[in-house]
């Protein structure tokens, strides 16, 4: 009796070995690092940049070097919640209290709840606002400096005017990011089924085709963000600076009064 050899595990082992080799090659190409750049450039980080550039070391190196320069100038790790809390008043973008079927974090974005005009502060808050410039800047930051962090993006029942907007924005996306963007329309069973393959109906808000009630509590979310600030400060090693920054802005004081944001998602 003949038995076909299962090449799947063998291929996976080969891929793993090749990937480890590429990671080591990228490390060598980047050279010695120090400070926060050293903390940022973990093996997982190298893997994401390589994956984003189809495991081309030269392209991944260029991409990562640009991120290191951007992080050095922009210092995203130092952004504290009290500095951008006003951007979150309406719940236009927030971390959901549920995960997808694979246990991944879910962000809910509702651009129709836009409440500010400062593009710089919106970038710090990482919202997605209608103006083309801010959309382009957001896309550039996310795909160039946070590669392979997005699993999938669902655009649920977008208004017709968005179609014209999308025709412009899609040219800012690289091919891999573009493939992750999915449009979902309530009357299109295939798109709805795709979304449900990622989420449990019991968790999804009714505004997104699920059964849960959408309720954004800004004060509660602010407390969660402040806890994240403290964890980030401990990781990056600037607790004292954070303590000075949030002095007088801790706890509920850091959050403006909550607003009723249970309106239909945009």
Looking up tokens 């991120």 gives 67
Residues 184/195, Cβ–Cβ less than 8 Å: yes
What pLDDT is attached to residue 95? 93
Q: From the CA atom positions of the chain, what is the Rg in Å?
A: 21
Residues 107/96, Cβ–Cβ less than 8 Å: yes
CA dihedral over 250, 252, 253, 254, signed as positive or negative: positive
C-alpha angle with apex 143: 116 to 108, nearest 5 degrees? 50
Low-confidence ranges of the chain (pLDDT < 70): 1-10, 115-126, 128-133, 239-266
C-alpha angle with apex 134: 40 to 185, nearest 5 degrees? 100
Q: Which residues touch 151 (CB under 8 Å, ≥6 apart)?
A: 100, 102, 104, 180
pLDDT tens profile 103-134: 999 999 987 777 666 666 655 665 744 456 67
Pairwise CA distance, residues 140 & 133, whole Å: 11
Q: Which residues touch 257 (CB under 8 Å, ≥6 apart)?
A: 218, 219
Pairwise CA distance, residues 23 & 2, whole Å: 39
Tell me the whole-structure pTM to 2 decimals: 0.79
What pLDDT is attached to residue 64? 98
Q: How many residues does the chain have?
A: 266
DSSP 208-239: GTSSBPP---HHHHHHHHHHHHHHHHHHHT-H
What pLDDT is attached to residue 201? 94
CA 14 to chain centre: 31
Pairwise CA distance, residues 57 & 31, whole Å: 13
Which ranges constitute the DSSP H helices of the chain?
7-30, 35-40, 43-52, 57-74, 81-84, 119-125, 132-145, 161-169, 175-179, 189-196, 218-236, 239-245
What pLDDT is attached to residue 254? 40
What pLDDT is attached to residue 132? 62
What pLDDT is attached to residue 168? 83
Average model confidence (pLDDT) for the chain? 83
DSSP symbol at 4: -
């Amino acid at each position: 009796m003949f038995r076909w050899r299962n090449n799947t595990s063998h291929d996976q082992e080969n891929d793993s070995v090749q990937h480890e080799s590429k990671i080591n090659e990228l490390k060598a190409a980047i050279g010695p690092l120090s400070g926060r750049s050293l903390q940022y450039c973990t093996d997982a980080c190298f893997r994401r940049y390589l994956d984003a550039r189809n495991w081309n070391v030269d392209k991944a190196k260029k991409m990562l070097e640009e991120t290191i320069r951007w992080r050095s100038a922009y210092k995203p790790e130092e952004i504290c919640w009290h500095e951008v809390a006003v951007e979150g008043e309406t719940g236009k973008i927030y971390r959901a209290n549920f995960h997808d079927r694979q246990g991944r974090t879910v962000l809910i974005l509702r651009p129709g709840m836009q409440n500010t005009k400062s593009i710089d502060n919106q970038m710090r808050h990482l919202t997605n606002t209608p103006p083309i410039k801010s959309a382009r800047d957001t896309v550039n930051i996310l795909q160039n400096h946070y590669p392979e962090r997005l699993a999938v993006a669902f655009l649920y029942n977008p208004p017709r005017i968005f179609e014209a907007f999308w025709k412009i924005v899609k040219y800012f996306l690289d091919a891999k990011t573009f493939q992750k963007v999915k449009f979902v329309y309530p009357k299109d069973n295939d798109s709805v089924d795709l979304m449900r393959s990622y989420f449990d109906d019991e968790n999804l808000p009714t505004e997104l085709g699920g059964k849960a009630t959408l309720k954004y509590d800004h004060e509660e979310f602010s407390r969660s963000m402040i806890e994240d600030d403290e964890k980030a400060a401990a990781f990056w090693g600037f607790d004292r600076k954070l303590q000075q920054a949030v002095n007088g802005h801790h706890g509920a004081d850091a959050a403006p009064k909550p607003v009723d944001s249970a309106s239909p998602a945009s």
